[in-house]
Amino acid sequence: MDEEPDRPLTLREMLHSVLAAALGVQSGRNRARDFRHGKPSHFILLGVGFTALFVLVILGVVKLVLYLAGM
């Protein structure tokens, strides 16, 4: 491969992996890279943060729709 053997993942690469995994479109090549170079704790923190943000956005959209509907 064209990657350095001991190069840690950048924040951008980790965010891309978390978002792709959340959508279910993570490629095998990126998944293998994540297991080789990533730290589980980083992915856990990003996953929990993404999930919390997703829930808050959905909650906000529901509240906005209910407010606009006059309920």
pLDDT tens column, 32-44: 999 999 999 999 9
How many CA atoms within 13 Å lie on the side-chain side of 8? 6
pLDDT for 58 equals 98
Asked whether residue 50 carries a pLDDT value surpassing 90, the answer given is yes
Which residue ranges make up each domain of the chain? 11-68
Instruction: Report the percentage of the chain scoring pLDDT > 90.
Output: 75
Q: What is the pTM of this model?
A: 0.76
Higher pLDDT among residues 68 and 7, named by residue? 68
Helix (H) or strand (E) holding 32: helix 28-37
